[in-house]
A and B are shown apart, each in its own frame.
Chain A
Amino acid sequence: MSALSELSKLKSKGPVTAEQRAARRKEASHDNKAGYLFLLPWLVGLFVFTLGPILASFYLSLTDYSLIQSPNFLGLDNYARMLTDDRLHQSLQVTLTYVGVGVPLQLALALGVAVLLNKGMRGLAFYRSIFYLPSMLGGSVAIALLWRQIFGTTGLVNQILQLLGFEATTGYVSDPDYALWTLILLNVWTFGSPMVIFLAGLRQIPTMYYEAAALDGASRISQFARITLPLLSPIIFFNLVLQIINAFQAFTQAFVVSNGTGGPSDSTLFYTLYLYEQGFTRFDMGYASAMAWLLLAIIAMFTAVNFLLSKYWVFYDD
């Protein structure tokens, strides 16, 4: 049971009579003390490190706080500033491209490979490890440095292109037309973790469905379209929501590849990179907080739209 389906299950359970409520309260009161004692560390963390900061962040977004001087209240000035901030628009465009192209590519590859790997084939464990490994290492600085070399002027990609007889002099990471695409490729390369989730989902589909379809003469393609896709749709939905949320927060790769600048020509200026720059190199913490709220709003909007659209393509069989 995934976190998403848990969330959608948390709806009201219908009307409750006063008696039931009383009975429930009596029963519930039994463990109150122990419950809150065990929950205490988490509650402290929630208030001190999550809820408190969220409220503080909202307040700061209405000020010009810079860590040195006490904050002046600006109202919505920071938000108005966003409307005319060209670098912010650029960073939004970069991030939306990264999410819009990178996530579908990554999920398509993850699903394709998972389907190939399904059906108890030989060497499953081996392939799974090979494909999963980059997901575990992909977010590290070491891999970002590797990427910087691979797509540099004298990097691995150009060496291979030269071997194949092409004239290869483009430094992809230093060319504004290509730099973002090298990072999208890095994201696609880490398709292993959604793939593992797809594999787990594929295992839940009873093989008798396929057997029955095969008896009826259904082709592999129509089996995939009529059985696999609908039955896997909750898992596809889960991966989609999760990977979109993750992709919006991508930071390390862009930071290392551009050496913190978001360059060349702001072509890899991810939203988080610009937020970091405003907050922690210029210490314009008010504006950075406002940016964080815009990010939260965008992610929430994408997630909400996902949930709304899911009605039309996600099938729950329970």
Chain B
Amino acid sequence: MTETIAGEITAPRTAKDHVRSAVKHVALIAVSLVMVYPLLWMIVSSLRPTEVIFRAPGLWLNELYVENYSEGWFALSQAFDWYLVNSAIVVSGAIIGNLISCSLAAYAFARLKFRLRGLWFAIMLMSIMIPIHVIVVPQYILFNAFDMVNTFLPLVLPKFVATDAFFVFLMVQFIRGIPRELDEAATIDGAGHLRIFGQVLIPLMIPALATTAIFTFIWTWSDFFTPLIYLTSPEMYTVPVALRSFLDATSGSNWGAMFAMSIVSLVPMFLAFLFGQKFLVKGIATTGGK
């Protein structure tokens, strides 16, 4: 997506255009404020005593009540860093798995000719749209049979076999944009598929791989359904499941502490969003665009 627009070199702007543009900005700023207000309010509330949260709709802070963070950190059966580490393990596994397995499949679909390729490709596309609920019960039974319930394996293993077909599709689209001449030159130099894949395409695929890594990070970090099903004992909880158990753990709801830990849980996602925005926008735009 380029930022320059052909239509910009038009006639000099009239007074009417200026008014129009001002109105537009006012509308957009109003929408922006409504959009981010809840987030800002949550940040501010995490620095207020709970009693104040109940009567303060504004964003001003008279004093910083950082005790919410220490209280929240130790409110559950494990200190909060424990859950952060759990989530980090799951997320790293998911990212590594997705990067390896999806890029291998994408190379096959985009560059190799093999029997039934069209059929497999259609199945891959359709699998993107299958609701997880149809497969979750048998998957659970399968993992239960292998004694893997209450381990991280059910959350990570599927990623190593490209079950997130969305990323396969994303990478196929990306590889199609890389000139075939590069592969052909490498073939003439005697490179096999593994070398073409590893040494020619992978370095060129960095933007697609980054998009995959960042989306996997954000989606896995915030995933609630799968860990809720598979992780049964509190010391295995990932951050979202731990956060949810605040509702049971702190009777009368200590909103200050809960918001403090909510903020902690959002920080990694927010950073991933900030640094990966360019990739995220491109990734999501190419899946929908032509």
- Where the two chains meet, the residues of A that have a C-beta atom closer than 8 Å to any C-beta of B are 1-3, 5-7, 10, 25, 27-32, 34-36, 38-46, 48-50, 52-54, 56-57, 60, 65, 67, 113, 116-117, 119-125, 127-134, 136-137, 139-143, 145-146, 149-150, 154, 156, 159-160, 163, 189, 193, 196-197, 199-201, 203-204, 207, 210-211, 234-235, 238-239, 242, 245, 248-249, 251-252, 255-256, 259, 272, 275-276, 279-280, 285, 288-289, 291-293, 295-296, 299, 303
Contact = CB atoms under 8 A, between A and B. Distances in A.
Contacts of B218: 136
B163 A211 contact: no
Nearest to A286: B137
Contact of A50 (B45, B109, B127): B127
Interface in B202-240: 218, 221-222, 224-225, 228-229, 239-240
Contacts of A289: 137-138
A299 B131 contact: yes
A142 B133 contact: no
B24 A116 contact: yes
Nearest to B229: A280
Please report whether the interface of chain B is mostly helix, strand, loop or mixed according to DSSP. Answer: helix
Given A35-B114, A129-B277, A145-B243, A60 B138 contact: yes
Contact of A293 (B1, B8, B134, B141): B134
A38 B138 contact: no
How large, as a class, is the contact surface on chain B? 35 or more
Given A131-B35, A146-B262, A235-B288, 16 more contacts: A10-B122, A31-B193, A34-B112, A38-B104, A41-B161, A50-B130, A127-B32, A137-B222, A137-B266, A143-B262, A156-B38, A255-B224, A279-B136, A291-B133, A292-B133, A296-B130
Contacts of B144: 67
Contacts of A31: 112-114, 193
A133 B243 contact: no
A239 B262 contact: no
A48 B161 contact: yes
A280 B112 CA distance: 42
Nearest to B265: A142
Interface of B: 1-8, 21, 24-25, 27-28, 31-32, 35-36, 38-39, 41-42, 45, 53-57, 100-102, 104-105, 107-109, 112-115, 117-118, 120-142, 144, 158, 160-163, 165, 168-169, 173, 193, 197, 218, 221-222, 224-225, 228-229, 239-241, 243-244, 246-248, 255, 258-259, 262-263, 265-266, 269-270, 273, 277, 280-281, 284-290
Contacts of A43: 120
